[in-house]
Amino acid sequence: MSLTKTLTKTSAKTKENNNLQTETVITIDEKIKKLRELMSEKNLDAYIINGTDPHSSEYVCPRWQTRQYISGFTGSAGIVVITLKEALIWADSRYFIQCEEQIKGTEFKMKRINGLNAEKISDFLKSLGSSAKIGTSADTITVKKINEYKTSGINVIPMEDLLYNIWTDRPEIPAGAVLKLTDKLCGESVSSKISRIRNKMTESGASCTLISSLDDIAWILNLRGYDIKYCPLFIAYLFIDNKESILFTDKNRFRKIKTDNLPYKIKNYDDVYKKLSGLKKSSIYLNPDKTNMSLLDFINTEDVKIIYGNDFSEEFKACKNSIEIEGMVEAHIQDGASIVNFLSELYSEPDGYTELSVAALLQKHRECSIYYLGPSFGTISAYKEHGAIVHYNADKNSDKTITGNGLLILDSGGHSRMGTTDITMTLPFGKPTNEQKKDYTLVLKGHLALSALIFPEGTNGYQLDAVAHRFLWQNGLDYFHGTGHGVGCRLNVHEGPQRISSHISATNTALKPGMVISNEPGVYKEGKHGIRIENLIYVTEAFKTEFGKFLKFNTLTCCPYEKKLIVKEMLTEQEIKQINNYHTWVYKTLKDIVDKNALKYLKEATLPL
């Protein structure tokens, strides 16, 4: 594995706010051909492109949108495998339709990661034979992933990024200014956070740690950035030992900030390699799920012991402190007001809107809030049968007009000065059918059951998933995405380690006070409609009895359910009471801050069932 090139490449001068990819002049098939030439030079039978960045981020800045560059597919997940004869892309069920559409006319063929006719990437790679040489960029493959391949008997060789020689107009690493948040706004000082990490480090027997995860770095240092769309992050590594902390990122980012009294040093991004190669007689703590193979190659493992585990800051960050919770509450109240203003305007005259213009209207109302910073992810606005495509993305060609009787799934969220929001509404237009109302009510029953649940300390998310599913199951319905994902505070809208899902995640984390999580059951009927009801909730203490400590959820999202879609007869008295109590709270909370002309809508929408 040659890393000299990697160093040269990442040392290249960076450009600020490079959010747009310059248009390439070569076609997809030409790119594949060039890649194959390089593969032949290196005697490779296959080359894998993960489409992530050196920090294993979910969303990546243009420089590392390699999947999109090579295939044209713009989805947020997927794995590309190029062999000398085939060009394949594995997509998940959210993207089957979109991916097929976007690779049309190229050599690419789509494979399914899940669902019917799914094919395992590992099975395909194995079919190449045990002596096959398979390459991938060392910068963007994690230690964990390489070990998984190894365990499956697949020989994947981390190496230089072959796209480097093909993608001539590749965007640089962004290097925009960072924003320093006050300790007061964050609820904890940087020194205190670093000190907590040092304690955990010592407990685990490590003398230092290198953190690759961008949202962990932003959280620890009370900094935010603008490198990645939707994510207030900046590209960096953070090294911590018992003597010092070093942030590896473009120094220019701090040009407007006093750096004299910061409890960490700042060195350039690529200096991280020097730091790692200089480590002697120490033990370094690394997250195998976030650490890329290039980093690993610079550690002299004869002299340095590696201890693997989740980043200590992951759980610290997940358990929001009281200031962060206050911020999240306030962010949701402001967001609720924006949404009610939006709904009032939309419902007053719904004719003529399209999926995209509805999303734009919501965005316009969010932007009226002085605290609003921007969207926390790309809004999903999906009408009628589009709603059945779980992660449908409307574009100019698909943009459906809101007309007739139908349901609109509207999944959106924002960052404000105080926190991050994520809400899915299912909005009825025209006269909803009995089937739509029954489906909505079944989804709502699961959503209500989860949000009203009390559970003992130590309960894991996988234990609670069925609580949200069971009313649907009882009626032969189901949904195949998770019920809840963690949400950051003015950070990533998808944040670990907690989640509510039937799938046992590797981290297997108990739900703890301060954790924010989404509650979003749904049901999707192909060719008909999609329904999803999503509020954010957070864990707090309920009470203590002789049986131990019990926890409950408080709801953050402040927005009415759609009474037009609720079949009251399908609800228990307790469920009716729960909805009425929630609506009373929504009304009281928003009545003085919504626009005057939205008050009528708010009042009606929150009247008792």
Instruction: Name the residues that contact its own copies, by CB under 8 A.
Output: 453-456, 459-460, 462-467, 469-470, 473-474, 476-478, 502, 504, 508, 525-526, 542-543, 545-548, 550, 572
**Residue nearer to its own copies on the CB measure, 362 or 464:** 464
Q: Are strands 495-500 and 484-486 parallel, antiparallel or unpaired?
A: antiparallel
**Residue nearer to its own copies on the CB measure, 357 or 501:** 501
Q: How far is the CB of 398 from its own copies (least distance, A)?
A: 23
**Residue nearer to its own copies on the CB measure, 372 or 479:** 479
The answer to whether the CB of 500 falls within 8 A of the CB of 470 is no
State how far the Cα of 57 lies from the Cα of 231, in Å rounded to an integer. Answer: 10
Q: Encoding tokens for residue 381?
A: 């606005």
Q: How far is the CB of 555 from its own copies (least distance, A)?
A: 17
**Residue nearer to its own copies on the CB measure, 30 or 478:** 478
Q: How far is the CB of 468 from its own copies (least distance, A)?
A: 10
Q: Is the sign of the CA dihedral 448, 449, 454, 455 positive or negative?
A: negative
**Residue nearer to its own copies on the CB measure, 430 or 458:** 458
Q: How many CB atoms lie within 10 A of CB 55?
A: 25
**Residue nearer to its own copies on the CB measure, 15 or 544:** 544
Q: How far is the CB of 522 from its own copies (least distance, A)?
A: 12
3-state secondary structure 548-565: EEEEEEEECCCCCCCHHH
Q: How far is the CB of 524 from its own copies (least distance, A)?
A: 9
Q: How far is the CB of 46 from its own copies (least distance, A)?
A: 24
Q: How far is the CB of 115 from its own copies (least distance, A)?
A: 10
Buried residues in 409-438 as b, exposed as e (16+ CB within 10 A): bbbbbbbbbbbbbbbbbbbbbeebeeebbb
The Cβ-side half-sphere exposure at 178, using a 13 Å CA radius, reads 26
State how far the Cα of 513 lies from the Cα of 511, in Å rounded to an integer. Answer: 7
CA nearest to 245, candidates 204, 202, 288, 195:
195
**Residue nearer to its own copies on the CB measure, 352 or 476:** 476
**Residue nearer to its own copies on the CB measure, 278 or 476:** 476
Q: How far is the CB of 273 from its own copies (least distance, A)?
A: 33
State how far the Cα of 436 lies from the Cα of 286, in Å rounded to an integer. Answer: 49
The residue whose two tokens read 């998310």 is 461
Q: What is the SS3 assignment for 187?
A: coil
**Residue nearer to its own copies on the CB measure, 347 or 462:** 462
* Burial classification of residue 280, based on how many CB atoms lie within 10 Å of its CB (0-12 exposed, 13-18 middle, 19 or more buried): exposed
Torsion of CA 471, 469, 486, 490, to 10 degrees: -40
Q: How far is the CB of 325 from its own copies (least distance, A)?
A: 23
The answer to whether the CB of 435 falls within 8 A of the CB of 445 is no
Angle subtended at Cα 515 by Cα 537 and Cα 57, rounded to the nearest 5 degrees: 105
Measured in residues, the chain has a length of: 609
**Residue nearer to its own copies on the CB measure, 349 or 526:** 526
State how far the Cα of 106 lies from the Cα of 577, in Å rounded to an integer. Answer: 56
The answer to whether the CB of 244 falls within 8 A of the CB of 267 is no
Q: How far is the CB of 584 from its own copies (least distance, A)?
A: 21
State how far the Cα of 411 lies from the Cα of 413, in Å rounded to an integer. Answer: 7
Angle between the N-to-C axes of helices 322-348 and 355-367, in degrees from 0 to 180, rounded to the nearest 10: 130
**Residue nearer to its own copies on the CB measure, 380 or 500:** 500
Q: How far is the CB of 332 from its own copies (least distance, A)?
A: 25
**Residue nearer to its own copies on the CB measure, 179 or 542:** 542
| Bond from prior residue into 497 cis (ω within 30 degrees of 0) | yes
State how far the Cα of 580 lies from the Cα of 577, in Å rounded to an integer. Answer: 5
3-state secondary structure 336-402: HHHHHHHHHHHHHCCCCCEHHHHHHHHHHHHHCCCCEEEECCCCEEEEHHHHHCCCCCCCCCCCCEC
Angle between the N-to-C axes of helices 461-474 and 434-451, in degrees from 0 to 180, rounded to the nearest 10: 150
**Residue nearer to its own copies on the CB measure, 12 or 504:** 504
Describe the chain by its helix, strand, coil percentages, rounded to 5. 35, 25, 40
Q: For the CA atoms of the chain, what is the radius of gyration?
A: 25
**Residue nearer to its own copies on the CB measure, 87 or 444:** 444
How far apart are the two ends of the chain, measured CA to CA in Å?
A: 66
Q: How far is the CB of 97 from its own copies (least distance, A)?
A: 17
**Residue nearer to its own copies on the CB measure, 323 or 542:** 542
CA nearest to 496, candidates 216, 209, 192, 77:
216
State how far the Cα of 335 lies from the Cα of 487, in Å rounded to an integer. Answer: 15
Q: How far is the CB of 256 from its own copies (least distance, A)?
A: 50
Q: How far is the CB of 62 from its own copies (least distance, A)?
A: 38
Q: How far is the CB of 506 from its own copies (least distance, A)?
A: 12
